[in-house]
Amino acid sequence: MFREPWEAQAFAMAVKLNEVGHFTWGEWAETLGAEIAAHPDRAYYENWLSALENLIERKRLLSSTERQQRIEEWDRAAHATPHGKPVELTRSSPARETVR
């Protein structure tokens, strides 16, 4: 079902955020549908991730700035992690503490 680990992680995050009540499946379907319509040539899970990012910002779970900081933290951690080892982010990250 998933071609890359990040696709499964994005899927799981959307499911979890729905389970804890941050958005409804109707909101999710509308947002994902808009992404697919706007970017029909983009891979499905790229649209999925974009929809997730849009909802996270719209629901104020992270600001655009916090989301960008989290992306940069991930990039730094990924570049510092030896090949084949899991990438780990510290729990002290301000952006991580915002999303629960």
Q: Does some domain include residue 99?
A: yes
Q: Is the dihedral of CA 50, 51, 54, 57 positive or negative?
A: negative
Instruction: Specify if 33 maps to a domain.
Output: yes
Question: Among 17-26, 62-71, 85-94, whose mean pLDDT is lowest?
Answer: 85-94
In whole angstroms, give the CA distance from residue 76 to residue 2.
25
Q: Per-residue pLDDT tens for 30-86?
A: 999 999 999 999 999 999 999 999 999 999 998 889 988 888 887 888 888 888 888
In a domain? residue 42: yes
Query: How would you class 97 by CB atoms within 10 Å of its CB: exposed for 0-12, middle for 13-18, buried for 19 or more?
Result: exposed
Tell me whether residue 64 is in a domain. yes
Give the model confidence (pLDDT) of 26-45 as tens digits. 999 999 999 999 999 999 99
The pLDDT of residue 86 is 81
Range of the domain at 27: 21-77+93-100
In a domain, 83, yes or no: no
Residue 87 counted as domain residue: no
pLDDT at 12 over 90: yes
Q: What is the pLDDT of residue 98?
A: 40
Q: What's the domain count of the chain? A: 1
Domain membership of residue 29 (yes or no) is yes
Q: Are 54 and 31 in contact (CB under 8 A)?
A: yes
